[in-house]
Amino acid sequence: MHQPFPDRSSAAAAFAEHVNRGKVAAYDALGLDVMIGEREGAWFGDAYDPQRRWLNCHCNGGVFNLGHRNPAVVAAVREALGHLDVGNHHLVSGWRAELARRLSATTGDRLSGVVFGVGGGEAVDLALKVARAHTGRQGVVSAVGGYHGHTGLAMAAGDPAYRDPFGPNPQNFRQVPFGDLDALATAVDHSTAAVILESVPATLGMPLPPPGYLRAVGDLCHQAGALLVLDEVQTGLGRTGTWWSYQQDEAEPDLVVTGKGLSGGIVPISATLMTREVHAFFDDHPFVHISTFGGAEIGCVAALTVLDLVGAPGFLGRVEEVGSRIEAGLSGLPLEVRRRGLFMGLKLHDAAAGMAATQRAIGAGVFAIFANNDPSVLQLLPPLTIADDEVDWLVGTLQEVLA
């Protein structure tokens, strides 16, 4: 497929002029001149140099959990395009109903209500809106260094760097350190509608929750009459070796947010899962929240295929097996491996080392990026479908890069 510009410099100039000048300048400063071209499976190539290609270990935060252009997802969407389009969000839809039913089943039907969106930020906004409506309260508590998106309430639950340029933060939002139950207990009170946390905070550098922490957070919320919202946009849908990361902590969230990987990397779609009690809000207010493209029927086809693949016998077991192999292969290097399934952070000794590791890895053909809120951590999220020979190549390359 031909690129719309004849060379890299003209493409970069047009991007800077019309899309984001600061992004181009930042990448130039880091020496990263990557422009994605042909892509398939675990790999993508450079748009203007066919000799350059990378094993994608960033995966856009999990968008490409099943690799680029997964054949099963592509085939399902192509077939569906002969019959479907986005559908009409005003109407009852069997496609949305089936996807909601299947998502509910991944939680053992504990979170049986589903509302669809297009992206993770929209899904988080919905979760916090519903938590406020259900509890009649306004307060939201989140984690310092966490990230939930760039829209409205999602942005307000994030760190100041993402919201301060846009004016005063809405009232009733507080942050506490992730993993600090005492600090959380102090912050949660009679005014708290929800505590929202990533099950494992990606942008914070993938610190694993202390044993029992997420379950205790849920208990604390429920004792105070608040709801627990878990953001599994990056950790969900098999990335950590179980359908949802919270299932490894025996936590009991009231709402779970998913996105990114639900799309199969093909059609944007997100979802907010919630208990029957919380979902009952829509019994009396069926038209209070809409999303024109949320749960697009063609997106439901892609998402149902994702659930078919992740739910196939042996798939989740292999995620854990491959993650364990990679961790073992990196033993002996001067770093800490933070891992749950194939959700991995490689903690180096300081921020400069993390940034240098990013440059060296990309230079060696591994596309991996440091965590924005803790640059000492190199995020490592290879596709869940990575082949054995690709695992061996990845381990060997990282050994050289990080030695």
Comparing 278 with 164, which gets the higher pLDDT? Answer: 278
Contacts of 266 (CB under 8 A, 6+ apart): 69, 70, 73, 74, 77, 302
CB atoms within 10 A of CB 49: 12
> How high does pLDDT run on average in the chain?
97
The tokens for 198 are 């990533």
The mean per-residue pLDDT over the stretch 100-115 comes to 98
Residue 378 φ/ψ region, left for φ over 0, alpha for ψ in the -120 to 50 degree band, beta for the rest = beta
Comparing C-alpha atoms, which of 114, 96, 141 is closest to residue 255? 114
Give the per-residue pLDDT at 32: 85
Bridge partners, residue 45, by sequence = 53
Distance between CA atoms of residues 60 and 191, nearest Å: 36
Which tens digit of pLDDT belongs to each residue from 188-207?
Answer: 999 999 999 999 999 999 99
Q: Rounded to two decimals, what is the model's pTM?
A: 0.97
Check: CB of residue 384 under 8 Å from CB of residue 342: yes
Proportion of the chain above pLDDT 90, given as a percent: 95
Cα 287 to Cα 170, 199, 281, distances in angstroms: 25, 30, 11
The mean per-residue pLDDT over the stretch 39-67 comes to 97
- Say yes or no to pLDDT of 167 above 90: no
pLDDT band at residue 179 under the 50/70/90 scheme: very high
Give the per-residue pLDDT at 198: 98
Computed over its alpha carbons, how large is the radius of gyration of the chain? 21
- The domain ranges of the chain are 72-310
- Say yes or no to pLDDT of 282 above 90: yes
The tokens for 199 are 């099950």
Cα 162 to Cα 108, 149, 243, 373, distances in angstroms: 35, 9, 30, 11
Cα 60 to Cα 202, 228, 251, 357, distances in angstroms: 12, 26, 26, 18
Give the per-residue pLDDT at 169: 84
Check: CB of residue 24 under 8 Å from CB of residue 12: yes
pLDDT band at residue 223 under the 50/70/90 scheme: very high
Least confident of 2-6, 303-307, 323-327: 2-6
E strand map for 238-280: 255-258, 270-274
Q: Which residue has the tokens 């099943």?
A: 66
pLDDT band at residue 2 under the 50/70/90 scheme: confident
- Say yes or no to pLDDT of 41 above 80: yes
CATH topology (fold) of 72-310: Aspartate Aminotransferase; domain 2 (3.40.640)
Comparing C-alpha atoms, which of 402, 396, 340, 394 is closest to residue 370? 402
The mean per-residue pLDDT over the stretch 92-98 comes to 98
pLDDT band at residue 61 under the 50/70/90 scheme: very high
The mean per-residue pLDDT over the stretch 22-41 comes to 93
- Say yes or no to pLDDT of 292 above 80: yes
Give the per-residue pLDDT at 351: 95
Contacts of 291 (CB under 8 A, 6+ apart): 89, 116, 117, 118, 122
- Say yes or no to pLDDT of 168 above 90: no
Comparing C-alpha atoms, which of 174, 114, 126 is closest to residue 154? 126
Comparing C-alpha atoms, which of 384, 378, 375 is closest to residue 397? 378
The mean per-residue pLDDT over the stretch 153-160 comes to 94
pLDDT band at residue 157 under the 50/70/90 scheme: very high
Give the per-residue pLDDT at 221: 98
Distance between CA atoms of residues 361 and 291, nearest Å: 39
Helix (H, G, I), strand (E, B) or coil at 119: coil
Distance between CA atoms of residues 305 and 197, nearest Å: 28
Residue type, 197: L
The tokens for 216 are 């205790």
E strand map for 234-278: 255-258, 270-274
DSSP 109: T
Give the per-residue pLDDT at 134: 98
Largest CA distance in the chain: 62
pLDDT band at residue 244 under the 50/70/90 scheme: very high
Check: CB of residue 299 under 8 Å from CB of residue 130: no
